[in-house]
A = this chain, B = another copy of it.
Amino acid sequence: MISKNIKLPPRHIYPLDDWRFVQKKYSPQYLAQDETVFAIANGYLGFRGNHEEGTPVVQRGTFINGFHEQWPIRYGESAYGFAKTGQTMLNVTDSKVIRLYVDDEPFYLPTADLKSYERVLDMKAGTLNRDILWETASGKRVSIRSTRIVSMEHRHVAAISYEVTVLNAPAKLIISSKLRCPTEKLNPQEDKEDPRKSPKFDHSVFVPQVSQVKDQRVLLGHQIRTSGMTLACGVDHEIQTENTYSYKSECYEDSAKIVYSLKAEEGVPFRMIKYMVYHSSRNAPVVELCERTERTLDSVTEDGFEELTEGQQRFMDNFWTNSDIEVSMYRDRRTQQCLRFNLFHILQASARVEGTGIGARGLTGEAYEGHYFWDTEIYLMPFLIYTSPKVAKNLLRFRYSLLDKARKRARELNQKGALFPWRTITGDEASAFFAAGTAQYHINADIMYALRKYVEVTGDEDFLFEYGAEMLIETARFWADLGFYSTNGKDQFHIHGVTGPDEYTAIVNNNAFTNIMARENLRYAVESLELLRKKAPDSFEGLAKDTDLGLEEIEEWRNAAAKMYIPYDEEKGIHPQDDEFLKKEVWDFENTPLENYPLLLHYHPLVIYRFQVIKQADVVMAMFLLGHEFSKEQKKKNFDYYDPLTTGDSSLSSCVYSILAFELGYLDRAMELIKYAAWMDLADVGGNVKDGAHIASMGGTWMAIVYGLAGLRDYGGKISFNPKSPPRTRAVRFPLTVRGKLLEVMIQRDKVTYTLKKGKALTIHHGAEEIKLSEKQPSCIKELGDTN
């Protein structure tokens, strides 16, 4: 039973605010978490929320999506087909550091006498701001104001405006703006028992190639030792002040600094704008990246900082118009803040994803090595499809680019078709524990599920034909080859030896989730190919030829889907998670002390595997993704059975359980569960926010509102709602983009209003009732009630 003790951020430190996450007091006890919470990123480039001064710091972080080092995975005992190449997102050149000395006294947060302090993640503006008033030991009052931005508009650009004013006296100021390679020295496969953490590299994986300084501009270029990836990081500075100042530049292989010296006059600000540009590549030479970097620096410095922030504001306005969830709760303003925080961080993880996936922690921390999992397709895609369909398309196209590697991997496993990697950056399987990695074949079906949703909600049939169909062929092929017709005399298609989403149960036969999702994959392949054959026979012929596809193979898939065995226990009326699940002993929850969670850190896998105990939504997940395959009665019985067996050990469960709880009318439980998902990061529910934000759970929170509270169902592209009015919820409003049209849904205590905000016409459903919205009649109000 997922149950957590949530401690909201204390109000005296983190006051209430709808659009901003504010910290009013420097709080060393939250330092590690705040580095994640105050991270800013654009999906390509990300900065952890380290303070400008560089210290104090728990984990310095500058990340580029997909920028990685690779390493040979060593096994205690290896075997044929084990993943060979570890891939780890690198912590790259840190350009954020700006050190300040007043009369030679360093500004250091933990010891500084702070007269005022405010740090703001401004989610409306898309900036991170800090405003400090510091009184030095000698009584000088120093105002330090900074604004940090990672541009959504210009994906290679970030900037910091850093303004220092000595308010009550003149003072000697030194401002040292730095740039440096990471220097941590840790083994890539350090001895650790927490599989969720990331290996670390010796600084020496950065092979220096370029280091140059010219006036206030510095460039460092590196190549990564084994992956061969290239990186250029350039900074340039603009000074706005009426004080007289001078500067000195230093540049080494792995670090550089520009040091500004001045005698600041009383009340006269010194403002430095530091422009930071990153270019990276898998194959372009470093010198070429340096040229690009110079060009980008030229253009961004010419435009200036104000233009950068204005561009950011335009981007953010558009984002919120298409994505915001407005809520009004009785005596609760935190939830609004938290929802926006979650959406904002999804944006930061995904906005400028081009040619990569989305790491499990976005660009906010090193956990899970920056790897791409099913999180993207199952937890993030619904939000992206309904709010930023172009980003969704980019992500699917990225998967398509990995198809050849997926084919190769299937060959390694003696399988036909293609098998996408369970975790990866490059497309090669990077999971070094196959029982909870490669065995999760469901990744194939998850991606195809996202494809279907994308195509159906956006209507982008071209994408289906151009990219999707080929992926559907290879994944369907894989399933047809993996499974077999059981010899139990019942003409059933079985799939053995798989691991479902619940990693506390491994390598089982007929995992219900996997079989249901595989069936859907097979069916969608059949349907899509029939459609293609009908609509574009030439394309179909070409594709069939390229993939050596015969019509009889499509019939095989149709048959495998029709005969797919879905475990069902007549007596209990539930779907067993797999063939053996119900025969296991139930975990002794009563005698498991709270500190033994997550179980994976306190019990050997052999112990965990032996029991009925669930890490994350499995059957319940299937009931959400393909709810139309279950009767209401089955859903209730399944939920009632699995909810008590589910630990909160994964951040991926509570959102999904919440959706089912809404559907089943368990509104109190639904609201409790949604809270665990929504607060995952801001309240550090899992205790590991320091390692990065739980991007998937953030996407899950959106789903819990839209699919849960509003009861959206969209199977086959048919949009229907079944809104609930849970306790303490006054109103909820959110937009959805459906086939290019903008729909707004507003739920109030006793009614729901559907409004077509953009577009000519749209047909939706309120429960079973069809509603046609149009420019003429854009709105429709319905009373709440049981709409089933």
Interface string of A62-80 (1 = CB under 8 A from B): 0000000000111111111
Q: Which stretch (A338-346, A432-440, A453-461) binds chain B?
A: A432-440
Cβ contacts A599-620/B at 8 Å (1 or 0 each): 0111111110110000000000
Q: Do residues A604 and B414 form an inter-chain contact, with CB atoms below 8 A? A: yes
A580 interfacial contact with B, CB 8 Å: yes
- Rounded to whole Å, the gap between the CB of A130 and the closest CB of chain B is 38
CA distance A610 to B74 in the complex (A): 25
Q: What residues on B are CB-neighbors of A580 within 8 Å?
A: 509, 579-580
Q: Is A494 an interface residue (CB 8 A)?
A: yes
Which of B81, B191, B579, B604 is A604 in contact with, Cβ under 8 Å? B81
A606 to B82, Cβ gap below 8 A? no
Is B609's CB under 8 angstroms from A77's CB? no
A506 at the interface (CB under 8 A from B): yes
B583 close to A80 (CB less than 8 A): no
**Contact partners of A189 in chain B: CB under 8 A:** 74-76
What per-residue 1/0 map shows which CB atoms of A110-122 lie under 8 Å from chain B?
0000000000000
From B439, B494, B583, A579 is in contact (CB under 8 Å) with: B583
Query: In the docked arrangement, what's the CA distance between A73 and B437, Å?
Result: 20
Residues of chain B contacted by A609 (CB below 8 angstroms): 497, 507
- A76/B83 contact (C-beta < 8 A), A497-B609, A604-B412 known: yes
Option from B80, B437, B603 in Cβ contact (under 8 Å) with A602: B80
The answer for the CA separation of A603 and B415 in the assembled complex, in Å, is: 11
Give the Cβ gap from A32 to chain B, nearest Cβ, in Å: 23
A86 at the A/B interface (Cβ < 8 Å)? yes
Indicate which residue in B83, B439, B509, B605 contacts A583 across the interface (CB closer than 8 Å). B509
In the bound assembly, the distance between CA atoms of A509 and B583 in angstroms comes to: 9
The answer to whether B605 touches A434 (Cβ under 8 A) is yes
Please report the C-alpha to C-alpha distance between residue A484 and residue B484 in the assembled complex, in whole angstroms. 32
- Tell me the minimal C-beta distance from A568 to chain B in angstroms: 16
Nearest B residue (CB) for A75: B76
**How far is it, in angstroms, between the C-alpha of A606 and the C-alpha of B86 when the chains are bound?**
20
Q: Produce 1/0 per residue, A560-579, CB < 8 A to B.
A: 00000000000000000001
Contact assessment for B610 and A496 in the assembled complex, using a CB-CB cutoff below 8 Å: yes
**In the docked arrangement, what's the CA distance between A336 and B175, Å?**
90
Q: Are A191's CB and B507's CB within 8 A? A: no
Among A77, A80, A507, the one with the most B-chain Cβ atoms within 10 Å of its Cβ is A77
In the bound complex, do residue B486 and residue A583 qualify as a contact, i.e. CB atoms below 8 Å apart?
yes
**A80, A486, A580: residue with the most chain B Cβ atoms closer than 10 Å:** A80
Query: By CB atoms of chain B within 10 A, which of A432, A601, A606 has the most?
Result: A606
**Known contacts A434-B604, A497-B606; 7 further A-B pairs (Cβ under 8 A):** A74-B74, A76-B189, A78-B192, A81-B606, A82-B193, A509-B580, A579-B583
